[in-house]
A and B are shown apart, each in its own frame.
Chain A
Amino acid sequence: MSIFVDEDTKVVVQGISPTSQGLFHGLRNRAYGTQVVAGTNPKRGGEEIEGIPVFATVAEAVEATGANASFISVPPKFAADAIVEAAAAGVPFVVCITEGIPAQDEALAYNRLVRQFPGTRLLGPNCPGIISPGKCNIGITSGDIAMEGGPVGIVSRSGTLTYQALHELSQQGVGQTTCVGIGGDPVPGTSFIDCLAAFEADPDTRAIMMIGEIGGSAEEEAAEFIASSVTKPVVSYVAGVTAPPGRKMGHAGAIISGSKGTAQAKMEALSGAGVTVALNPTEAGEAMVDVVRKLD
């Protein structure tokens, strides 16, 4: 099994044109085997681009093709509206890889989804997307570094470290059920906890790799969740142990987070929750290989 997407996922690419990022990535995803069933572009409804039927709106695309996921890579100033359009059209799973969306737009779009369209899960923004090896790939992950068959589920805040984690495991012959890049933006639609809960519920996922980053308190919250609700082994790596201290000014951030946010605090929290904490991505890969060997 996999989480969030599978072989039945049908993707509509929002903002498609012959020169768009959406088309470029959409074609790569289709070449991987993903069902890319539609594109949208308000000026190109009725056209067909590279065999992908184009509709003026997401609602029309859903109506005509039964699309149940959307992929957004439009420029930052259009992205928040695109997310809300997909949710309003009833798309249950929206992947937004766009980087650089203003935080105010992001916070507003997220809360509109929570309030008005609770049936929609947003992944991202500013994330590499999601891949269930052999089944579905939405986003910019290179399919050939992933390996089918499980048993590891990966969730990561960082793009390149997501690839690194996939690569380390595949090199050692350890496959993945699903690899989710949740992105590093201030208001991610899908959190570590959402993914941990989904992996915990997925019978084919037997171990979880979690890759965090300095800043915020998502890793600390994930640690609490792992301690209370995750029975599967978790291996973790948190990037930024030696990162330069943030240059945030003002007191508000410090008042909210207290000592939270440093890599050290995150690693201690995870370790305290029974997670195997590695000091670099390679070590994390090796630790996971050990964990997987002991599963059999």
Chain B
Amino acid sequence: MDLFEYQGKQYFARFGIPISKGGVADTVEQAVAQAEASGYPVVVKAQVKVGGRGKAGGVKLANDVEEVRTHAGNILGLDIKGHVVKRLWVEHASDIAREYYASFTLDRSAKKHLGMLSAEGGVEIEQVAVTNPAAIATVHIDPVDGLSLEAARQWVERANLDEEARDQAAELLVKLYSCYTDGDCDLAEINPLILTPEGKVHALDAKVTLDDNATFRHPEWEEFAGSDVEDERETRAKERGLNYIGLDGSVGIIANGAGLAMSTLDVVNQCGGSAANFLDIGGGANADVMAAALEVINSDPAVRSIFVNIFGGITRVDEVANGVLEALDRVDISSPIVLRLDGTNAVAGRAILADHLSDRLVAEPTMIDAARRAVALAGGQS
């Protein structure tokens, strides 16, 4: 789960990482109140989970109450790359002497945690990675050892942070590491991490991705739930507990297993069509799950045909076949369905469906045949 900047900052604060004084506002009046509490000048920042908000006019400096009103009014409701701004973060504006970059994430190749620190933050750090990789000091951290203050001090020195920032930065990095590990983050990133002219180091931005698998031990994450999903189809799918991603095509996809679902998208594409969604119904393709999946896909007006691609492993195909029939009894489906059922008990499964096949419910023996048929039913190229 990706956090908004304000949520990320509040999460940082729990681990003792210094952030600017500020608060959340959903209305112009709230923005004014937060500005008064934080002290002028303030920065009014759009809360959207997409990059480039500054260039889109979503971040503005305000020196007084009138400017806060103007900027807050303009930014609320602003459409930034399809994300409509519903919430602001208003914080005391910091004077910036230097901008750094700091992050922790997992290096899947090294199978260790990777810390990255640069004295050249703020700007396009990805650009720095390409043009001047030496400017990013990396450190691999074995989770068995963790990050000691001593190791952090050496790291800060190696990254060439300004002398006066080093002690505070090292301490902050140890806290950020603990936020990343104890806080179960997939990513904890600060860009920019700033040094003020007064010699204070603190986080001016926060990019935090939480590990959904760790939700069971973080009841406090409850407050971050919701407000996350932009696509209405995805909201409906999420309510039904389905792993769904909305796309722009016309062939609705239902498959069991993420790999098979991805592969189904590929094959539909190779046959000249395009998928309306990614939907992995997981191992247990029973009638309830199938009905829920068909409902979600049926509610997408762009869908012209539905391709159900099931390979039975533990899941038995005869159970899937019964599930499909039961689901069809419950849901009125507006698009023709193409079934490809293979694997454990496939023969029995196909026999169950044999009497129910029609031009609205078609069975094909292989994945490719089924993809071709689904694309043709969707009106060919889409």
Q: Interface on A for B, CB 8 Å cutoff?
A: 76-77, 100-104, 107-108, 110-112, 114-115, 128, 140-142, 144-145, 156-164, 167, 184, 186-187, 211, 213-214, 216-218, 221, 237, 239-244, 247-256, 258, 263, 279-282
Contact = CB atoms under 8 A, between A and B. Distances in A.
B145 to A, nearest CB: 9
A158 B263 CA distance: 10
Contact of A214 (B51, B105, B262, B342): B262
Contact of A164 (B109, B143, B274, B311): B311
Given A115-B142, A158-B263, A251-B129, 17 more contacts: A103-B211, A104-B184, A161-B263, A163-B311, A163-B312, A164-B311, A216-B109, A217-B108, A240-B262, A240-B266, A241-B269, A242-B275, A247-B2, A249-B49, A250-B207, A255-B125, A280-B368
Contact of A251 (B186, B189, B366): B189
Contact of A249 (B187, B256, B367): B187
Given A103-B211, A282-B368, A250 B187 contact: yes
Contact of B112 (A107, A159, A248): A107
A85 B209 CA distance: 30
Interface string B37-55: 0000000000001010000
Interface in B289-336: 311-314
Contacts of A128: 313
Given A104-B211, A107-B112, A167-B342, A242 B259 contact: no
Interface of B: 2, 49, 51, 101, 103-109, 111-114, 116, 125-126, 129-130, 136, 142-144, 181, 184, 186-187, 189, 191, 207, 209, 211, 213-214, 216-217, 245, 247, 255-260, 262-263, 265-270, 274-275, 278, 311-314, 342-344, 366-368
Contacts of B105: 250, 252-253, 256
B213 A103 contact: yes
A166 B101 CA distance: 47
B211 A102 contact: yes
A213 B343 contact: no
B106 A282 contact: no
Contacts of B126: 251, 254-255
A76 B129 CA distance: 36
A250 B189 contact: yes
B267 A100 contact: no
Contacts of B255: 160
Contact of A160 (B111, B125, B256): B256
B281 to A, nearest CB: 11
Residue of B49, B104, B314 with highest tally of chain A CB at under 10 A: B314
Contacts of A280: 263, 266-267, 270, 367-368
Contacts of A110: 111
A239 B129 contact: no
A164 B103 CA distance: 39
A158 B258 contact: yes
A207 B332 CA distance: 48
B316 to A, nearest CB: 9
B311 A160 contact: yes
The 9 A-B residue pairs with the shortest CB-CB distance, nearest first, are A158-B259, A160-B257, A160-B260, A102-B214, A161-B259, A250-B207, A242-B269, A239-B262, A252-B105
Contacts of A252: 103-105, 114, 116, 187, 189
Contacts of A103: 106, 184, 186, 211, 213-214
9 contacts: A77-B217, A111-B112, A158-B258, A161-B259, A164-B311, A167-B342, A240-B262, A253-B187, A255-B116
B142 A163 contact: no
Contacts of A114: 111
A77 B216 contact: yes
A186 B313 contact: no
Contacts of A158: 257-260, 262-263
A104 B344 contact: no
Contacts of A140: 313-314
Contacts of B245: 244
A108 B141 CA distance: 11
B262 A111 contact: no
Nearest to B249: A242
A102 B214 CA distance: 5
Nearest to B246: A244
Contacts of B144: 108, 111-112, 115
B184 A279 contact: no
Contacts of B209: 248-250
Contact of A281 (B108, B191, B247, B263): B263
Contacts of A159: 257, 259, 313
Contacts of A100: 213
Contacts of B129: 251, 254-255, 258
Nearest to A260: B109
A167 B344 CA distance: 10
B152 to A, nearest CB: 18
B101 to A, nearest CB: 8
